[in-house]
Amino acid sequence: MLKRVQQTKARTTGGRFAIVAAKYNGRYVDSMLRAARREFAGAGVEQTVVVRVPGSFEIPAVAAKLAQAHRPPLSAIVCFGVIFQGETSHAQHIGDAVSHALAQLQIDYRLPVIHGVFVFQNPQQARVRCLGTKHNRGREAAQTALAMARVMAGLGTVLDEPGPVLRPRRRAPIARRELQNGPGARAVKRRKGQ
């Protein structure tokens, strides 16, 4: 079931974000891009860099370059593309390759990379998820980017502060009387024939 994108109260975040968006199937991608930019503006984002690429397959290369070279560092990268399934498996291969590459970028650069590249079966699916305001995945992706930027910023303070040293728990010593007279001791004595 398709869930409506929740209206969230935009918290001022500052931060620097990048959006990498495919030109191919531009009607749908442009709508997600506009929705994301509105969400970022409402949240008080300091800077949003938008880079357009020919198609969805080219998104990971640009996202990697942005993750590696951008100074000061980005808070998150949002990626938008729309792919329609045709008669062959080509669209699915493109979608899978992009998904794997974006996931690897997050791990390699420790930077949130928000996946907004969709493989749709038909234009109706894309219309519902990209063109309207009720289910717009561009807005949802921007909300996710803002949330992940807050999470990552919070981790920085947690990881910088010295925390308690965690040691393995020692077993509490069992009182000798419990061993000699407790319920476990009686069961052992019965088995031994005492």
Q: Which helix (H) or strand (E) holds 120?
A: strand 113-120
Q: Are 100 and 142 in contact (CB under 8 A)?
A: no
Question: How are beta strands 76-84 and 47-53 bridged, if at all?
Answer: unpaired
Ramachandran angles phi, psi of 189, nearest 5°: -65, -40
Instruction: Please report where in the chains the tokens 């009720």 appear, as a residue.
Output: 134
| C-alpha pair distances (Å), 157 with each of 22, 46, 100, 125, 153 | 35, 21, 30, 41, 7
Neighbours of 102 (CB within 10 A): 21
> Has 90 been annotated as catalytic?
yes
What order of strands is seen across the sheet that includes strand 16-22?
47-53, 16-22, 76-84, 113-120
Determine which one of 70, 90, 115, 135 is catalytic.
90
Catalytic positions: 90
